[in-house]
Chains A and B, each alone.
Chain A
Amino acid sequence: MAQLDLEIRSLRKRYGGFTAVDDVSLQVGQGQFVCLLGPSGCGKTTTLRCIAGLEEPDDGEILIGGRQVTHDPPWQRDIAMMFQDFALFPHMSIARQVGFGLEMLKRPKAEIRKRVAEVLAAFEIGGLAERRPASLSGGQRQRVALARAMITEPRILLLDEPIGALDYSLRETVMLELKQVQRRSGISFIWVTHDQNEAFSLGDLVVVMNHARIEQQGTPQEILQRPRTPFVAGFVQGNNVFRGRYTAAGAGHARVGAYLLPAGGPPPAEGAEASFSIRAELLRFNPPADWPNRLAARCLTVEYFGSIRRYILQGPDGALLKLDQFGAEPATIGVGEETVLGWRAADAVLHA
């Protein structure tokens, strides 16, 4: 079996009476791009800081490259970290702080100078070598922070909302660059973010956290198409979540409330409260007669994003529904119009 870059076993961290991280376990293979995704306060940053050694876990184990590091200080772990506001050293020139990691490894001066020049050139910031952080733009700072963290080629790079401080227009370019840098370097990235666009476009593995626990981990496709819990379904974009009583319906099917769907994994108790979700792009106006799930709705508003057109509708019980259509097609209904929409039983996903 190939060695894991990172393994976390039942990590737990409490602050007084508040549990910040609860029973978090995670395995990261070599050179993987992992995104920890969740709302603020969900424990993703605390998990990251535990991996860095900046926080002391109350329970659990952390292994980096197969080596037990749970009680090692940050400077003895094979990691580097990039902070949200970059934490550049204000009193050091760019060349000096990019070389800081090598200096700590006691590499010869000539080698440091050479490596710093190479790395600065690779990140296209060679011209900034003698400058101070204060005189740099946000994008330049981000490159300096990345260069500083990657120069020692650590096994794992920890990134705490690394592009949250950048202008929105810059983010897409930076994300693409970072993904390429990560692939080339073979360094595992653990990327903390509350932005699902970042997580789903970057992560090989996305770990959704809420209330100190991992709700679900998987590829972006798994999480988007098969949300395991009502939280994940509600947190990621484009899901319609329904709740109701669970009843078995035979032939591998079940009902939640009035709606038919595949029975799913270990079935809930008969009559128990359950929930399922259906993606907005799988709803259809005026569904074929043989689709079992249908309901009447009124269109409240239509949002147009170019690639998709999203209808926000209100069902008979007052709940809001989302229906996505391919943006290149003309609009089907207008605001205020009544319609019927439906979905196939097979497309609905029962939650645990």
Chain B
Amino acid sequence: MHWKTRQRLVTWALGTLTIGFLLYQWLPILTLAVLSFSGPTGGTTFPMNGVSLHWYRELWAASFIGDFKPPLWRSFLLALACSGVTCVLSVASAQAMRARFAGHNAFFFLLLLGLMAPGLLVGFGFALLARLLGMEPAWNTTAFIVHVSWTLPFGFLTMLAVFNRFDVKLEEAALTLGANRFVAFRRITLPIVLPGVIGAALFGFSLSYDEFARSMFTTGPDNTLPLAVLAQLDQQLTPELYAIGTATTLTSLLVILLTTTVLWLSRRRAAAR
């Protein structure tokens, strides 16, 4: 067999594997999504009992189980804040790494440690520390800080990879053309690394949005969404939980779709200019 033919076969095999992986990733969510549309008497397993939007109405009215809207709102705000802070800090820290300051390697490993540390313990430790400092755990203070410690390394690595490919000569060219450092960053560096910045922002959002382990001990009395869902699971399992899973997944997809569309449009507009 010619090696080209074998190569084609390998391509097919890898393609099949990819599809298999995608199914493995999405089938569980799809199952929940399907079951969330079952009728008012429907259970939490197959076969389905009728088809309706009943559980979505229940979810909205919050008549049967706890109201998910406040935790949802908190999680959303928290994720948004994490996203913004991750964005700014990861660009700043990656910029700092470019300067190869003394101890930059230690800095790198310390920042990455956030990825290795077990989340539950980080959260617990931070809660203890906060108490010691006289700080009451709350979703928008302690939980926020711990979330950023989790999302930042991801954003940082993204920006590091982007800056690794960035040609410093472009900045230097701007400087020799009369741009000061701030203008060079705004007009040259930032537009070029923007896809990476948006990637860091998405990491910040999605990692915070569904974070459970680090939230557990740091959130205080007002729950975020993952905590609220688990609390509800402890009490009673209804298709309402499926509805909430489906709704939030759709929201996330929508956010990503929106961001990429905005990015694409702004690029096209810039290109036309």
Binding site for B on A (CB under 8 A): 52-54, 73-75, 79-81, 83, 85, 87-91, 93, 96, 100-101, 104-105, 132, 148-149, 152, 158
Residue in B178, B270, B271 whose beta carbon sits within 8 Å of that of A105 in the complex: B178
Does any Cβ of A come within 8 Å of B174's Cβ? yes
Q: Let me know if A104 and B183 touch, CB within 8 A.
A: yes
Question: Per DSSP, are chain B's interface residues mostly helix, strand or loop, or mixed?
Answer: helix
Residues B214-273 near A (CB distance < 8 A) = 270-271, 273
Binding site for A on B (CB under 8 A): 167, 169-170, 172-181, 183, 187-188, 191-192, 270-271, 273
Q: Let me know if A54 and B176 touch, CB within 8 A.
A: yes
Q: Let me know if B179 and A104 touch, CB within 8 A.
A: yes
Q: Let me know if B188 and A80 touch, CB within 8 A.
A: no
Q: Let me know if A91 and B270 touch, CB within 8 A.
A: yes
CA distance A54 to B181 in the complex (A): 12
CA distance A101 to B175 in the complex (A): 10
CA distance A81 to B179 in the complex (A): 13
Q: How near does chain A come to B261, taking the closest CB pair, in angstroms?
A: 19
Q: How near does chain A come to B189, taking the closest CB pair, in angstroms?
A: 10
Q: Let me know if A81 and B173 touch, CB within 8 A.
A: yes
CA distance A75 to B187 in the complex (A): 15
Residue in A88, A90, A96, A104 whose beta carbon sits within 8 Å of that of B178 in the complex: A104
CA distance A75 to B174 in the complex (A): 8
Q: How near does chain B come to A111, taking the closest CB pair, in angstroms?
A: 15
Q: B residues within 8 A CB of A105?
A: 178
With A91-B270, A93-B273, A104-B183 given, is the CB distance from A83 to B169 under 8 Å? yes
Q: How near does chain B come to A338, taking the closest CB pair, in angstroms?
A: 55
Q: Which of chain A's residues has its CB closest to B168's CB?
A: A87
Q: How near does chain A come to B121, taking the closest CB pair, in angstroms?
A: 42
Q: B residues within 8 A CB of A89?
A: 170, 173-174, 188, 192
With A93-B273, A104-B183 given, is the CB distance from A87 to B170 under 8 Å? yes
Q: Let me know if A132 and B271 touch, CB within 8 A.
A: yes
CA distance A89 to B177 in the complex (A): 12
Q: Let me know if A91 and B192 touch, CB within 8 A.
A: yes
CA distance A89 to B192 in the complex (A): 9
Q: How near does chain A come to B182, taking the closest CB pair, in angstroms?
A: 10
With A85-B169, A91-B192, A104-B183 given, is the CB distance from A158 to B176 under 8 Å? yes
Q: A residues within 8 A CB of B176?
A: 52-54, 74-75, 79-81, 149, 158
Since A90-B192, A101-B177 are in contact, a sample of 12 more A-B pairs with Cβ atoms closer than 8 Å, ordered by chain A residue number, is: A54-B175, A73-B180, A74-B175, A75-B175, A75-B176, A75-B178, A75-B179, A88-B173, A89-B173, A91-B191, A91-B192, A148-B177
Q: Let me know if A96 and B273 touch, CB within 8 A.
A: yes
Q: Which of chain B's residues has its CB closest to A83's CB?
A: B169
Q: How near does chain B come to A81, taking the closest CB pair, in angstroms?
A: 4
CA distance A15 to B124 in the complex (A): 47
Q: B residues within 8 A CB of A85?
A: 169
Q: A residues within 8 A CB of B188?
A: 89
Q: B residues within 8 A CB of A104?
A: 177-179, 183
CA distance A105 to B177 in the complex (A): 9
Residue in A73, A93, A149 whose beta carbon sits within 8 Å of that of B175 in the complex: A73
Q: How near does chain B come to A104, taking the closest CB pair, in angstroms?
A: 3
CA distance A149 to B175 in the complex (A): 11
Q: A residues within 8 A CB of B173?
A: 81, 83, 87-89
Q: A residues within 8 A CB of B179?
A: 75, 100, 104
Q: A residues within 8 A CB of B172?
A: 52, 54, 74, 81, 83, 87
CA distance A54 to B271 in the complex (A): 30
Q: How near does chain A come to B181, taking the closest CB pair, in angstroms?
A: 8
CA distance A317 to B175 in the complex (A): 55
Q: How near does chain A come to B99, taking the closest CB pair, in angstroms?
A: 14
CA distance A88 to B167 in the complex (A): 10
Q: Which of chain B's residues has its CB closest to A85's CB?
A: B169
CA distance A88 to B174 in the complex (A): 10
